């Protein structure tokens, strides 16, 4: 195949020769200089037309585009000529080409028209670094060119990515001044911006005022609520959408499932699943994958598998979601089996698939296999390991008690260890009781993330395990002196279609009395099973949350009591906790699962705990 320039040259030659042969007399009656300048002019405009045609037709890659550009320069076509620069930038942006290249071209155009300004803003908005979109817009406002209907949606997209609320609000004002606010796609862009920046209420306000709302508008507001952890609002709007006869599409369901997954709102997810099947949207792979993730994140791996098995076409995302889902839920062997099947079917795993695989190895204590998979990922699949993968390896060794090896591994890693890596190591030290490495990890953490409450807890537990009470005391003092703020713990639990939130010592619920009498019954029965609350040494017990007392129980216990009194025997209990479950609660929940014969799934900030018959799937390592 000919490259554009070769193709172009061969065509020019044939055309010039043919035109001269067809029109031999035309040049005879004009003065020679005029002939040359006219001919040069016509050649120039011909080359220009040709270049633009080439940009349209054969610039299917950035290198080809560069060739056309180089050719135009050699033939004296200036970027200032109408259309040349404009089409060059447009082609570059359409190919998601490098924006610094587009910018170089742009800066040479003396008077870009609004199309070119918009294309530049769009290019940046769609790129990885959208911030220059704002500079381009500011330059546009200083020029004599007026923004048009396309300017704002692209600009707002960039601002939404950058999450700069103030800039977005200013732009909102400009749309009002310029009279573009009533345009549906400007409104939709504003809705998306407010939702993405955590201003879902503003998005909703704007939405309410819109005289006509299309599906995109509904989706933007629903997605805004979903992103901002407002599940009840998400649900209300989803219902309203139904009552106004607007049919949800795959995007709506993806937002809905994502929200449900974050909050563990399983029954709402299940209802949407029914709807999805009824309307045939279960054929939508994105929505089906989001549903699979929802079930996995709610700890209902059976349902996740069912969704997976029901998929007619399974993408890499589907395989990966189930592998990761199985691994984080503690079903390591099954995750690895599924990965083998994936390879057998010649599906190329992604880097996220390997996060699941390595996590599964870690969970099953398969250290050698973990290293083998890590090598396979690099050499077999050409995936460059990311910090997440190294994190998995540190976890793998830590969990197997190989703390020294893990520390050495961190020092030799080709990427700079981040706080998560050091925290993983510190966690392993806290469990194995390796104080010297634990202190090193803590020092690194103090440099990287100085005021992370959980780290103080880990190091304090480590000192406590060595009975170094004065060090425990010093950690607590440092916490106070350094003003480390504790994140208030809360637990979410779903009952019916409503998600309830409980905080420590919560007494705001209407059923408070019943909840607390259940809690004392729980404590009584637990003691009969040999449970002794972790109160032996107050100093030893710096938890992420305040020390628990009989009057102020940790939120997960309150949530469990609440579900126990409101559901029939045998119903599974699901809790989503924002902090790490403390040792005392972990022990108590294990016993509750046995005494009350309830399966209890707790998702805390780092992993899943499936409690059943007095055991936990994390095997007491978390
Ligand atoms: Zn607790
Ligand atoms: Zn556990």
- Model confidence over 419-434: pLDDT tens digits? 999 999 998 998 888 8
Instruction: Identify the DSSP state of 61.
Output: S
Torsion of CA 77, 83, 85, 88, to 10 degrees: -100
Residues of the chain with CATH 1.25.40: 395-487
The pLDDT value recorded for residue 228 is 82
The pLDDT value recorded for residue 158 is 95
For the CA of 560, the nearest ligand: 1
Ligand 1 centre and the CA of 268: distance in Å?
Answer: 28
Ligand 1 centre and the CA of 390: distance in Å?
Answer: 30
Flag the least confident range among 376-385, 476-485, 521-530: 476-485
The pLDDT value recorded for residue 476 is 83
Ligand 2 centre and the CA of 31: distance in Å?
Answer: 94
Region 175-192: mean pLDDT is 89
Ligand 1 centre and the CA of 534: distance in Å?
Answer: 10
Taking 80 as the threshold, does the pLDDT of residue 32 lie above it? no
Taking 90 as the threshold, does the pLDDT of residue 321 lie above it? yes
Ligand 2 centre and the CA of 612: distance in Å?
Answer: 10
Ligand 2 centre and the CA of 361: distance in Å?
Answer: 17
For the CA of 505, the nearest ligand: 1
For the CA of 585, the nearest ligand: 1
Write out pLDDT tens, residues 48-93: 888 888 887 766 788 888 888 888 888 888 777 767 888 889 989 9
Region 208-226: mean pLDDT is 90
pLDDT band at 390 (very low <50, low <70, confident <90, very high): very high
Is the distance from CB of 449 to CB of 437 less than 8 angstroms?
A: no
Region 320-341: mean pLDDT is 94
**Maximum distance among all Cα pairs of the chain, rounded to whole angstroms:** 117
Separation CA 460–CA 544 (nearest Å): 11
Region 192-220: mean pLDDT is 91
For the CA of 552, the nearest ligand: 1
pLDDT band at 7 (very low <50, low <70, confident <90, very high): very low
Percentage, residues of the chain above pLDDT 90:
50
Flag the least confident range among 119-123, 202-206, 443-447, 550-554: 550-554
Separation CA 494–CA 567 (nearest Å): 11
Ligand 2 centre and the CA of 397: distance in Å?
Answer: 19
Taking 70 as the threshold, does the pLDDT of residue 15 lie above it? no
Taking 70 as the threshold, does the pLDDT of residue 146 lie above it? yes
| Bridge pairing between strands 498-503 and 490-495 | antiparallel
More confident residue, 298 or 550: 298
pLDDT band at 605 (very low <50, low <70, confident <90, very high): confident
Ligand 2 centre and the CA of 572: distance in Å?
Answer: 16
Ligand 1 centre and the CA of 69: distance in Å?
Answer: 65
For the CA of 583, the nearest ligand: 1
Nearest residue to 84 (alpha-carbon basis) of 55, 126, 104? 55
For the CA of 616, the nearest ligand: 2
Half-sphere exposure of 54 (CA within 13 A, CB side): 29
Separation CA 336–CA 347 (nearest Å): 15
Whether the pTM exceeds 0.75: the reply is no
Write out pLDDT tens, residues 404-421: 999 999 999 999 999 999
Nearest residue to 544 (alpha-carbon basis) of 429, 458, 419, 418? 458
More confident residue, 3 or 361: 361
For the CA of 610, the nearest ligand: 2
Residue 556, exposed/middle/buried by CB under 10 A (0-12, 13-18, 19+)? buried
Strands of 498-503's sheet in order across: 498-503, 490-495, 573-577, 600-603, 608-612, 615-616
CATH number of 395-487: 1.25.40
Taking 80 as the threshold, does the pLDDT of residue 233 lie above it? yes
pLDDT band at 12 (very low <50, low <70, confident <90, very high): very low
Separation CA 594–CA 587 (nearest Å): 11
Taking 90 as the threshold, does the pLDDT of residue 372 lie above it? yes
């Amino acid at each position: 195949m000919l490259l554009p320039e070769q193709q172009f040259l061969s065509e020019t030659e044939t055309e010039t020769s043919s035109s001269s042969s067809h029109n031999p007399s035309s040049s005879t009656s004009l003065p020679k200089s005029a002939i040359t300048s006219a001919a040069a002019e016509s050649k120039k405009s011909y080359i220009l037309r040709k270049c633009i045609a080439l940009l349209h037709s054969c610039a299917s890659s950035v290198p080809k585009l560069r060739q056309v550009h180089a050719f135009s320069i050699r033939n004296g076509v200036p970027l200032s000529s109408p259309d040349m620069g404009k089409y060059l930038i447009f082609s570059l942006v359409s190919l998601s080409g490098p924006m610094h290249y587009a910018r170089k071209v742009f800066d040479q155009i003396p008077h870009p028209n609004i199309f070119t300004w918009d294309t530049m803003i769009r290019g940046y908005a769609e790129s990885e670094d959208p911030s220059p979109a704002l500079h381009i817009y500011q330059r546009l406002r200083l020029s004599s060119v007026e923004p048009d209907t396309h300017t704002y949606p692209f600009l707002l997209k960039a601002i939404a990515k950058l999450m700069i609320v103030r800039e977005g609000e200013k732009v909102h004002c400009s749309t009002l001044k310029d009279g573009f606010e009533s345009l549906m796609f400007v409104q939709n862009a504003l809705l998306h911006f407010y939702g993405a920046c955590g201003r879902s209420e503003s998005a909703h306000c704007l939405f309410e005022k819109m005289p006509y709302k299309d599906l995109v508008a509904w989706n933007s507001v629903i997605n805004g609520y979903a992103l901002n952890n407002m599940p009840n609002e998400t649900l209300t709007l989803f219902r309203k959408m139904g009552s106004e006869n607007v049919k949800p599409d795959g995007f709506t369901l993806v937002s809905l499932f994502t929200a449900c997954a974050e909050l563990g709102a399983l029954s709402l997810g299940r209802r949407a699943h029914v709807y999805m099947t009824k309307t045939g949207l279960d054929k939508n792979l994105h929505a089906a994958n989001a549903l699979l993730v929802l079930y996995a994140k709610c700890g209902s791996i059976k349902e996740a598998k069912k969704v997976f098995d029901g998929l007619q076409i399974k993408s890499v995302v589907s395989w990966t979601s189930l592998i990761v889902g199985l691994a984080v839920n503690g079903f390591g062997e099954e995750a690895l089996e599924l990965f083998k099947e994936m390879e057998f079917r010649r599906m190329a795993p992604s880097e996220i698939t390997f996060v699941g695989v390595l996590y599964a190895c870690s969970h099953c204590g398969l250290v050698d296999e973990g290293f083998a998979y890590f090598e396979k990922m690099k050499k077999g699949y050409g995936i460059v390991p990311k910090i997440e993968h190294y994190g998995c390896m540190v976890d793998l060794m830590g969990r197997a008690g190989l703390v020294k090896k893990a520390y050495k591994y961190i020092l030799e890693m080709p990427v700079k260890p981040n706080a998560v890596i050091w925290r993983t190591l510190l966690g392993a030290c806290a469990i194995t009781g390796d104080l010297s490495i634990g202190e090193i990890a803590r020092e690194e953490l103090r440099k990287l993330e100085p005021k992370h409450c959980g780290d103080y807890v880990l190091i304090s537990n480590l000192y406590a395990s060595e009975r170094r009470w004065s060090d425990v005391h010093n950690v607590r003092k440092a916490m106070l002196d350094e003003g480390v703020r504790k994140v208030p713990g809360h637990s979410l639990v779903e009952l019916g279609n409503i998600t309830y939130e409980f905080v420590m010592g919560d007494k705001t619920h209407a059923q408070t009395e019943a909840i607390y009498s259940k809690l004392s019954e729980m404590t009584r029965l637990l003691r009969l099973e040999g449970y002794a609350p972790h109160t032996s040494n107050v100093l030893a017990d710096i938890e992420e949350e305040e020390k628990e007392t009989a009057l102020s129980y940790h939120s997960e216990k309150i949530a469990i009591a609440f579900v126990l009194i409101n559901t029939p025997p045998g119903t599974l209990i699901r809790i989503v906790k924002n902090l790490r479950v403390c040792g005392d609660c972990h022990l108590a929940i294990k016993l509750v699962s046995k005494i009350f014969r309830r399966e209890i799934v707790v998702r805390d900030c780092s992993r899943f705990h499936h409690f059943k018959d007095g055991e936990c799937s994390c095997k007491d390592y978390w």
